[in-house]
Amino acid sequence: MSSRADARPPEPSRAERVRSVLSAARSLTVTTDGHRCDLAGAHSLDERGRLTLRLPADCHLAAAVACAPRGDLAAMLQFTDVAPTSVRDRVRARVTLSGWLTEDGSAEPEAAGAGDGDGAVEGVALRLDAVRATLDTGEGAEGVGLDELVLAGADPLAGHEAALLIHLTDDHPDAVARLARLVEPRHLHGVRRVVPVGLDRYGITLRLEHARTHDDVRLPFAVPLRDAAEFGDRIQALLAAAHACPRRRRSMHTRP
């Protein structure tokens, strides 16, 4: 849908998207037999994508794992990928990991609330031994191979995407309007607002909002970036291409 190519623009693989969601997410929901809880800032990933939860030793989930017959507890972990900019239908994807939670004796436990003085509670590390991973982008859930997850890495912009998109939207609406020139005119018919809604090493995604519906359009970078420091150069290259593009859409808004 970009003016620069008729072929589908490159984008991260499903495994890369899962790794990016897990890396950037700050919260998750854990469901076990008869219990459901929401956790914030409790999970971490190692370089192979293995997930660990660090929790107070006296919390319900840690106690349930400790009391499980074989020391492991069937669990489903759900992560929601939400667009950082203000648009309708902000949920971009959902990631679900299913497997077994077990106490990780190899991880050094941390004290929950250790920086708060008195009242710190000894922590426990729970490792997820995943048996299934799924990615749901709104077009149906698809399984992602665990071997693929081990080999994949998070996108280099995963931890920076929210700040970069909000900065672009709030502080540079003129740049967003210029980027919209790269969209084929037929896709801009009836569009009321254009908002950046996604960013990865391959390009930037614009949300085209109509009165009651919306479409997403990817604008690919000429060369995929390797780290966040290259983002400015890639955006400048797109803006230069937009400047050379004769298309205009004066009636289209780029902000609420």
| 173-200 tens-digit pLDDT | 999 999 999 999 988 889 999 999 999 9
Same domain? For 207 and 145 the reply is no
- Give the Cα separation of 47 and 104 in Å (integer): 16
Residue 132 is assigned to a structural domain of this protein: yes
Residue at which a domain ends, from 151, 177, 194? 151
Range of the domain at 227: 161-243
Integer angstrom CA distances of residue 89 from 82, 139, 214, 244, 256: 9, 13, 9, 33, 15
Q: In the chain, which residues have pLDDT < 70? A: 1-7, 106-121, 246-256
| pLDDT number for residue 107 | 62
**Residue 147 and residue 23 share a domain:** yes
- Provide the 10 A C-beta neighbour count for residue 172: 16
Q: What pLDDT score was predicted for residue 243?
A: 87
Q: Are residues 118 and 20 in the same domain?
A: yes
Number of domains in the chain: 2
Cβ proximity of 92 and 207 under 8 Å: no
The CA–CA distances, whole Å, from 203 to 2, 10, 89, 108 equal 11, 8, 21, 39
223-229 long-range contacts, CB within 8 A, separation 24+:
224/10, 225/156, 225/157, 225/201, 226/156, 226/201, 227/156, 228/156, 228/157, 228/159, 228/160, 228/164
CB 95 within 8 A of CB 81: yes
Q: Which helix (H) or strand (E) holds 170?
A: helix 161-171
61 and 143 co-located in one domain: yes
Q: Clarify whether residues 182 and 55 are in a common domain.
A: no
- Cα of first residue to Cα of last residue in the chain, in angstroms, is 24
Residue 45 lies in a domain: yes
DSSP 189: T
- Angle, vertex CA 132, rays to CA 130 and CA 138, nearest 5: 130
Q: Are residues 122 and 173 in the same domain?
A: no
For Cα atoms 98, 85, 205, give the angle at the middle one, nearest 5 degrees: 80
* Secondary element (H or E) of residue 43: strand 43-45
Residue type, 124: V
Instruction: Output the pLDDT for position 244.
Output: 85
pTM over 0.75: yes
Residue 254 lies in a domain: no
Are 147 and 168 within one domain?
no
